[in-house]
Homo-oligomer: A and B are copies of this chain.
Amino acid sequence: MKWKKAAVAMITMVCALSLAACGLHKKSTSNSNYTTTGSAGRNYQGVIEHGHYRVSKARGVNVTQNSNQYNLKSFETGLTEVSKKSFSPKSYIFQEGQYLDTSEVQRLLERRSSSNPEGLNPAKGKSSNPNPEYIQQLEEQDFVQQSGSSLKLKGMTIGIGVNSEYNYQKKSDGPQYSKNISNAEVKRQGEIAAAKVLKHIRQKKGCKNIPIVIALYKQASDDSLVGGSFFAYEKSNGNSLSSWHDLNYKTTVMPKASGANTTNSDNESDDNNFSNFKSQIQSFFPNISGVTAQAQYKNDNLAGMHITVTTQFYSETEIQSFTDYIAQAAKKYLPNGIPIDIRIQSDSEMQAIIFRNAGSDKFQTHVLTSY
């Protein structure tokens, strides 16, 4: 089996590294073979070998897994957040997945067949009523710690993206059909896949006894303007996954599509705040500016926003003035205490950025000028 060979080769390589002692959050000594990316403590440090980043063994495969790139970005960013619950950036160094390689991930994501018994998706069945492909993407993150002069694998996270809809054609060039997949089914299929992936990983050398976190993600539909959300995770030290932790996460787009239902009163006040912000800034110039947002909810509380403002600028002074004005409006209308960024764009090029990190009360602004 190819993956075993690759994994063994990788582990051999890792073990062969003669690593100089180098503490976390410290600069590397000049004769060390690995160092780490710097970090402010909130983010993971990553592994750098001889000046090169240790990239994933399945590098690039994730890009092809999603026709909606919001799902990809949100999946990867969200997966790192879930990892932090079990593997603190203060104690663990992040390493891109080194145990699942590209062809292995591709095979896992294909339909089950006699030549691919480990495929996580069911056989197609009848063309007129095919079984959905439930599992859409898969990603591995490794967490290592220094052990003597080497880095040793101490934990792993596997993210599994499960489709909430299945799009298919009964015959090629025929019309598009779509099957909705219920939340209960998304959960069930995610848990089935999780058990199989856990078993698959446990067979690898070095992965028998480490804690493995499996995180389940519900993909947004292909036409969504925001990605999906993680809805459950479990950390397993053995072969079973029995007590899933629910994650009550939700993503949404603002302004709300007309006719959409408000799910609770919190959302409604958030929508109103955003509407006030929007109407405050969209008439700044004679041409109306577009103002949209992606919002994330955790346990029904607004947890963060990515706002995009698009307009036509006619001078650098207009960009500077608009940026200052938006920062003022953001402070006035947008909720405190959550991370927010506002991207100010023109002709699909970013002209300025305003952001506030988690916990901070102050917006940073930066206009992208030129000499």
B-binding residues in A (CB < 8 A): 37-40, 43-46, 48, 51-53, 55-56, 59-60, 62-63, 70, 73-74, 76-77, 80, 94, 96, 139, 141, 226-227, 251, 280, 283-286, 294-296, 304, 306, 314-318, 320-322, 324-325, 327-328, 331, 341, 343, 350, 353, 355, 364-366, 368-371
Contact = CB atoms under 8 A, between A and B. Distances in A.
A56 B315 contact: yes
A288 B260 CA distance: 47
A369 B77 contact: yes
A316 B55 contact: no
Contacts of A294: 370-371
A299 to B, nearest CB: 16
A325 B38 contact: yes
A370 B77 contact: yes
Contacts of A355: 366
Given A74-B371, A324-B37, A353-B366, A96 B283 contact: no
Contacts of A328: 37-38
A197 B202 CA distance: 79
B370 A52 contact: no
6 contacts: A38-B327, A51-B284, A80-B317, A251-B371, A353-B366, A355-B366
A226 B371 contact: yes
Given A48-B325, A55-B285, A63 B314 contact: yes
B316 A60 contact: no
B370 A306 contact: yes
A53 B322 contact: yes
A55 B318 contact: yes
Nearest to A45: B324
Contacts of A227: 370-371
Given A43-B320, A284-B51, A320-B80, A366 B350 contact: no
Nearest to A62: B315
